[in-house]
Amino acid sequence: MQVAVYSPLVQKSASPQRSPTTGLLLGLIVTLAAVLAYASYITVQLSGLRKLQSEMVDRNRKDSLLLLRIQNDLNSIGLAMRDMLDTAEPYPLTAWSAQFDRIHEDLDSALKLEEGFAGVNRTAEQRQYLTQSFSQFWDATSRMFDLAASDKQAEAREQIRLSLQARQQALSTAVSRLLVQNNEGEEQAAARISAIYDGVQRQLYLFLTATLIGIVLTSLYMIRSNRRLFAQLATLSEQRSELAQQLISAQEATLRHISRELHDEFGQVLTAIGSMIGRAGNHAPEGSSLREDLQEVRQIAQSTLDNIRGLSQALHPVLLEEAGLESTLDWYIPNVERQTGLTIHYEKSGVPFSVDTSAGVHIYRVLQEALNNINRHADAREAWVRLNFLQNSLELFVEDHGRGFTVKKGQQGIGLVAMRERAELIGAILEYGVPAEGGTRVRLQAPREQVETHGA
């Protein structure tokens, strides 16, 4: 079977195919030359367009929006003054003071912003006129509200009719002229931009035609080469994954066999030896050296038995088949603490569900490898393990705050590769991260439907 699997690879390596690198580099050079030639032309043509858009069109547009904001505030003032002149209104004139204050504040803010965008489009006389007109309007408004506050309602209304309404209309007219001026400037800029775009567009069509021909030819060659290469890679990847899974399965089968041999054969022999030594010790005289020697041998036999049982569980946790994943981790984590000196903070959450034995073995091995890495490489004395039973998945987090590590492509250790392959076997996601405190976090998330025990 092995010869049949690997012989095609040997035949392919014996007749290597020509590398597409030369053709791809040639196509890349041609494409880059065409792009650089067109880019130089575009840079020259669009430099003025960019300046025109940023300095004139965008500024005019923002200036027009602010002028519309000012015009809207002036219209609000006009409507308010119309209501104030209505003698049927039950409110005194001073009731509009708060509304005028809000509009005053908004107008001041809009005028300051608008002055920054007006730029060269606004003459000094226009700036001075707007500033003085608004100042005079608000002075007149203050006088009107002073009259109203002195209970001179009629005189205040007369002030609105004779002064404020005329000033408000004059300001609205001035703002409207500025809006018209901005619109005319935008139309002129749009005409210039359109002319530039037409010229660039003509050149663009010629460039695209030539460039696309080169790109299509290069792409066809690249697609043909890539399809061949990716087909080879896909075959190799499938063979690698299949081989890794077979190796993991063989490893687990071997470890399970050795574990059972140790547990059943050697365990039973040591148990029998201990029992026989115990009976022999009972026949020895009380306090004799023979009785003490037999007792010491019995303790050694019991210690060896305990070590063999521990080694058996480490090689293959039989407890997984008997009590499930959760109970196995409850037993395993304290054992790791005793053997390594690590302080492990173990937490469980969610509603536990039964995990299939084969899937449990892979989850157990991922935890085992992660804790081994912490003990050997992390230079940390604490670790955190969380087992989360979620509605649709099972999550395992293993975290330390040691010096951490970086998983580099092509430089993964065999342990990390085995963890990844085990995750794939149960359809799980395996991720490496860095906690906020530093160190390393390993996260395994397995779909519940893949790991849960089904049936009776």
d(CA 444, CA 200): 55
d(CA 207, CA 382): 63
Q: What is the number of structural domains in the chain?
A: 3
pLDDT in tens, 51-101: 666 666 777 788 888 888 888 988 988 888 888 887 777 778 888 888 888
Q: Which residues contact 251 (CB under 8 A, 6 or more apart)?
A: none
Residues paired with 102 in a beta bridge: none
Maximum mean pLDDT: which of 9-18, 299-308, 343-352, 414-423: 343-352
Q: Looking at the structure, tell me whether residues 301 and 386 fall in a common domain.
A: no
d(CA 298, CA 118): 101
Q: Looking at the structure, tell me whether residues 31 and 179 fall in a common domain.
A: yes
Q: Looking at the structure, tell me whether residues 156 and 206 fall in a common domain.
A: yes
- Whether residue 10 is predicted with pLDDT greater than 50 in this model: the reply is no
Which amino acid type is present at position 252? Answer: E
Q: Looking at the structure, tell me whether residues 73 and 208 fall in a common domain.
A: yes
Is the pLDDT higher at 194 or at 73? 73
Q: Is residue 419 part of a domain?
A: yes
d(CA 133, CA 111): 12
Which amino acid type is present at position 40? Answer: S
Is the pLDDT higher at 189 or at 358? 358
**Claim: this prediction has a pTM higher than 0.75:** no
The lowest-confidence range among 20-24, 178-182, 431-435 is 20-24
Domain finish residue from 307, 334, 363:
307
Q: Looking at the structure, tell me whether residues 99 and 163 fall in a common domain.
A: yes
DSSP per-residue string spanning 387-408: EEE-SSEEEEEEEE-SS-----
Q: Is residue 353 part of a domain?
A: yes
Q: Looking at the structure, tell me whether residues 297 and 339 fall in a common domain.
A: no
- Whether residue 106 is predicted with pLDDT greater than 80 in this model: the reply is yes
pLDDT in tens, 278-307: 777 777 777 677 777 777 787 887 778 777
- Whether residue 407 is predicted with pLDDT greater than 70 in this model: the reply is no
End-to-end distance of the chain based on CA atoms, in angstroms? 37
- Whether residue 440 is predicted with pLDDT greater than 70 in this model: the reply is yes
d(CA 93, CA 154): 10
Query: Which residue do the tokens 């005019």 mark?
Result: 60
- Whether residue 389 is predicted with pLDDT greater than 50 in this model: the reply is yes
Supply the mean pLDDT for the chain: 79
Tell me which residue range forms the domain holding 360.
Answer: 317-451
- Whether residue 207 is predicted with pLDDT greater than 80 in this model: the reply is no
d(CA 430, CA 444): 5
Q: Which residues contact 256 (CB under 8 A, 6 or more apart)?
A: 315, 316
CA-nearest of 435, 440, 441, 447 to 363 is 447
Percentage of the chain beyond pLDDT 70 is 84
